[in-house]
Amino acid sequence: MTTAPSPVRPAVDGPTATVTGARLRAQDRPSGPVGTTDGQTPVVTRVADVAAERVTWHWEGRIPRGKVTVLDGDPGLGKSTLTLALAADTSRGRALPGGQKAAPPASVVLLSAEDGIGDTIRPRLEAADADLSRVVVFEHLRDLNGDLRAPSIPRDLDAVERIVRDEGATLVVIDPLMAFLGANVDSHRDQDVRRALHGLATLADRTKAAVLVVRHLNKSGGPQAIYRGGGSIGIIGAARAGLLVATDPDDEHRRIVAVTKSNLGPKPDALAYRLVSDHSLGCAAVVWDGTTTHSADDLLAVPEDRSDRSERDEVVEWLTDFLSDGPRSAEQVFKAARAERYSDSTLKRAKKAVARSRKAGMDSGWMWELLPSAVRASTDEEGEGGPSPEGGHLRTSSGRRDHLRAVAKGPCATCRADTDRYGPAGKPLCSDCMQGGVA
């Protein structure tokens, strides 16, 4: 009869002893190889045996070599055109914008599910002055019967790696990622996408090629750009860098590429570019337009509706005026705003721009007061020519409506004392009546 090996037990030196392979007593070690339940043997790497390496960049601060980078953006913004511009620069060894130095010309491998080679990919590469001999498109695999099928991830990553090595490629573009995920990969299931991208990351690490995968944005409209890519959060989680392409909020004809994630270095400035028509080739080309201060989160911030923004701006002006003589109780502010038919929600949005609240005392309620910046702006505006009457209300020289100031004195609507001020409802009020909360 064969005796099973004794279970592994730690050599105990005390109640907090650590278990390591070196400290196991000889008689406690298994007699054969240690394996998992399915017969596989674990492989480990001792960190001391690995030489330290510096991160190298295909595009400085944006696309690292030997890693996976995700490029997100809505359809129609020129993501594919941008990736082909990068492919063209790679094929020629040209310097990239933002500080990346020129490198030796290298090949590029494309996996494209949405664009035809003849009518779209080649014209765009030609418009970007690519070396076409250095760009290959992985379209199909042919089986033993001669039938063709499209490549899928992770099933065909070995074939992708062979192409990368054979071509000496330093850049792989997968556009879009979702089109190449295998039928058994649920793009919204974290475990599935991480398993698929682990194979992609391993390919990048072994070949030292930069792998750039393209995604469309989801419809969530969330405030943080890193969560806006389609599919599982595991996609950007597995990538070491992330980029976003969006329309410049200040210029609808300009595009901005900003960094959403950078695990390997500080985030660089966002870069602007324009898509310029090449009429001879019937396609667009990328023309870089310098750096910009926009962040990825700024670019995807949901803009206020124009009418909402207009109403909020009006309430900002009203609130600035109402608080210009000093703090008011929150009750007074809300009462006065309702008298002007301003909604509570708009008032609260306006408060964020020009005011803050504080406790007047332990037994007192909340007081609203102007932010220091709003006080200075109001004072500066008053000195630029002062208020002038217009249309029954008062407007300053900049055209703001001014409820609280007037030119000529008149009787207070409450106590009949002389006053040169208006209350929040547009009636003349003296300072004493305003401080007393009379509307």
- Predicted pLDDT of residue 339: 81
Specify if 413 maps to a domain: yes
Same domain, residue pair 162 and 271: yes
> Mean pLDDT highest for which of 32-41, 188-197, 404-413?
188-197
Same domain, residue pair 335 and 282: no
Same domain, residue pair 368 and 413: yes
Please report which confidence band the pLDDT of residue 17 belongs to, taking 50, 70 and 90 as the band edges.
Answer: very low
Domain termination site, one of 241, 270, 300: 300
Q: Which residue type is seen at 343?
A: S
The reported pTM is: 0.62
Least confident span in 268-272, 311-315, 421-425: 421-425
Specify if 2 maps to a domain: no
- Predicted pLDDT of residue 433: 59
pLDDT tens digits for 138-183?
999 998 999 999 999 999 999 999 999 999 999 999 999 999 999 9
At residue 219, does pLDDT exceed 90?
no
pLDDT tens digits for 349-378?
888 888 988 876 666 788 899 888 765 554
Same domain, residue pair 184 and 270: yes
Strands 68-73 and 241-248 come out as parallel
Neighbours of 14 (CB within 10 A): 5
DSSP assignment letter at 41:
P
Please classify residue 9 by burial: count the beta carbons closer than 10 Å to its beta carbon, then call 0-12 exposed, 13-18 middle and 19+ buried. Answer: exposed
- Predicted pLDDT of residue 301: 81
- Predicted pLDDT of residue 322: 87
What is the CATH number for 73?
3.40.50.300
pLDDT tens digits for 245-266?
999 988 989 999 999 999 999 9
Please report which confidence band the pLDDT of residue 38 belongs to, taking 50, 70 and 90 as the band edges.
Answer: confident
Same domain, residue pair 147 and 184: yes
Please report which confidence band the pLDDT of residue 392 belongs to, taking 50, 70 and 90 as the band edges.
Answer: very low
- Predicted pLDDT of residue 409: 46
- Predicted pLDDT of residue 399: 36
- Predicted pLDDT of residue 420: 55
Please classify residue 347 by burial: count the beta carbons closer than 10 Å to its beta carbon, then call 0-12 exposed, 13-18 middle and 19+ buried. Answer: buried
Same domain, residue pair 280 and 357: no
Q: Are 94 and 136 in contact (CB under 8 A)?
A: no
At residue 221, does pLDDT exceed 80?
no
- Predicted pLDDT of residue 366: 85
Same domain, residue pair 118 and 256: yes
Domain total in the chain: 2
At residue 291, does pLDDT exceed 60?
yes
- Predicted pLDDT of residue 268: 94
Same domain, residue pair 290 and 320: no
Same domain, residue pair 259 and 359: no
How open is the CA angle 140-145-151, to the nearest 5 degrees? 20
What percent of the chain is predicted at pLDDT more than 70? 73
Please report which confidence band the pLDDT of residue 408 belongs to, taking 50, 70 and 90 as the band edges.
Answer: very low
- Predicted pLDDT of residue 113: 93
At residue 412, does pLDDT exceed 80?
no
Least confident span in 120-124, 235-239, 328-332, 374-378: 374-378
Domain termination site, one of 235, 269, 300: 300
Please classify residue 303 by burial: count the beta carbons closer than 10 Å to its beta carbon, then call 0-12 exposed, 13-18 middle and 19+ buried. Answer: exposed
Question: Which residue from 210, 147, 154 is spatially nearest to 177, judged by alpha carbons?
Answer: 154
Peptide bond into 303 cis (omega under 30): no
Domain termination site, one of 281, 300, 319: 300
- Predicted pLDDT of residue 220: 73
Please report which confidence band the pLDDT of residue 119 belongs to, taking 50, 70 and 90 as the band edges.
Answer: very high
Specify if 14 maps to a domain: no
At residue 9, does pLDDT exceed 70?
no
Q: Measured between alpha carbons, how far is 244 from 238 in angstroms, rounded to an integer? A: 16
Mean pLDDT over each residue of the chain, to the nearest integer: 81
At residue 281, does pLDDT exceed 90?
yes
Least confident span in 9-23, 45-59, 135-149, 383-397: 383-397
Specify if 156 maps to a domain: yes
pLDDT tens digits for 298-326?
898 865 555 555 788 888 888 988 888 88
Same domain, residue pair 231 and 310: no
Same domain, residue pair 265 and 140: yes
Please report which confidence band the pLDDT of residue 341 belongs to, taking 50, 70 and 90 as the band edges.
Answer: confident
Domain holding 158, by residue range, is 57-300
Please indicate whether residue 340 or residue 397 has the higher confidence score (pLDDT). 340
Least confident span in 84-88, 254-258, 406-410: 406-410
Specify if 69 maps to a domain: yes
Specify if 386 maps to a domain: yes
Specify if 209 maps to a domain: yes
DSSP assignment letter at 121:
I
Specify if 384 maps to a domain: yes
Same domain, residue pair 248 and 366: no
